[in-house]
Amino acid sequence: MSYAVKECYLTVQGEGAQAGITAVFLRFAGCNLWSGLERDRAKAVCQFCDTDFVGTNGPGGGKFKTANALADHIAEFWPQSERAQAAPKWVVCTGGEPALQLDKEAIEAFHEKGFKIAIETNGTIALPEGLDWICVSPKANADLVQTTGHELKLVYPQKENRPEDFSDLDFGVFSLQPLDDTNQAAHSEAAFEYCLEHPKWRLSVQTHKYLGVP
């Protein structure tokens, strides 16, 4: 299959249990929960998405005819020094919804380039085998299909989804991330207090937004 990528760049993971690692971020175009167009937001399954995943015109974006071509592309973003090549190489596949495009061929091609593969998914599509880090972020009014993984990261608060709805699922880490809207300060305080009372949950802060980096 061919692959449509909105953007691709080298950065430091800013949120969740893997915060702080250097990684190539690969943002696939498209999502199964809404079109990404503001005119359709009222009809979207997920109402709070703040990510542009429409088209292939972002930095490092484009269309790739094969998995090998896409793997070659992400490899260009990793530093070429000997020390960098010896360090753990991560590619974080996100979107939109990366599970619409990330397939067995791409996973194998990324691994052949020496990359470990992380995915940030809404969990509504069963994932292929071979992923090295699975982070599921449930969305309101969306049925969860992927109920196992390394991390469950819940945007908080949501009227439809409560942390206790997911606490018994098979994940290694449970992260609570304040909803980023006009009431972000209040949401941050609420998430902080919830984590104090429920230590199973970790507070996830979007440090990249504070630093002003991608």
Q: Nearest to residue 154, comparing CAs of 58, 52, 46?
A: 46
Catalytic residue among 7, 8, 28, 49: 49
Catalytic residue among 22, 105, 111, 208: 208
Contact present, 61 and 6 (Cβ < 8 Å): yes
Q: Respond yes or no: is residue 143 known to be catalytic.
A: no
Question: What are the tokens at 190?
Answer: 């609420």
Catalytic residue among 7, 97, 120, 151: 120
Q: Respond yes or no: is residue 93 known to be catalytic.
A: no
DSSP one-letter code for 96: S
Q: Respond yes or no: is residue 195 known to be catalytic.
A: no
Question: Which amino acid makes up residue 31?
Answer: C
Catalytic residue among 25, 110, 115, 171: 25
Report pLDDT for 17: 96
Q: Nearest to residue 30, comparing CAs of 114, 98, 102?
A: 98
Using the structure block, give the residue that is written with the tokens 């015109």. Answer: 57
Domain 3-211, CATH among 3.40.50.12280, 2.30.30.90, 3.20.20.70, 3.50.50.60: 3.20.20.70
CB contact set of 38 (below 8 Å; sequence gap of 6+): none
Question: Which amino acid makes up residue 82?
Answer: E
Contact present, 23 and 214 (Cβ < 8 Å): no
DSSP one-letter code for 126: P
Q: Is the overall model pTM greater than 0.85, yes or no?
A: yes
Report pLDDT for 36: 79
pLDDT tens-place string over residues 18-39: 999 999 999 999 999 988 788 8
Report pLDDT for 205: 93
Q: Respond yes or no: is residue 31 known to be catalytic.
A: yes
Catalytic residue among 7, 28, 31, 53: 31
pLDDT tens-place string over residues 85-121: 999 999 999 999 999 999 999 999 999 999 999 999 9
Q: Other CB atoms closer than 10 Å to residue 144's CB: what's the count?
A: 16
Question: Distance between CA atoms of 100 and 16, rounded to whole angstroms?
Answer: 22
Pair type for strands 89-94 and 133-136: unpaired
Check pLDDT > 90 for residue 42: no
Residues 18-35 as b or e (16 or more Cβ within 10 Å = b): bbebebbbbbbbbbebbe
- Cα-Cα-Cα-Cα torsion 126, 131, 205, 38, nearest 10 degrees, comes to -50
Q: Respond yes or no: is residue 198 known to be catalytic.
A: no
Q: Respond yes or no: is residue 51 known to be catalytic.
A: yes
Catalytic residue among 38, 50, 82, 170: 50
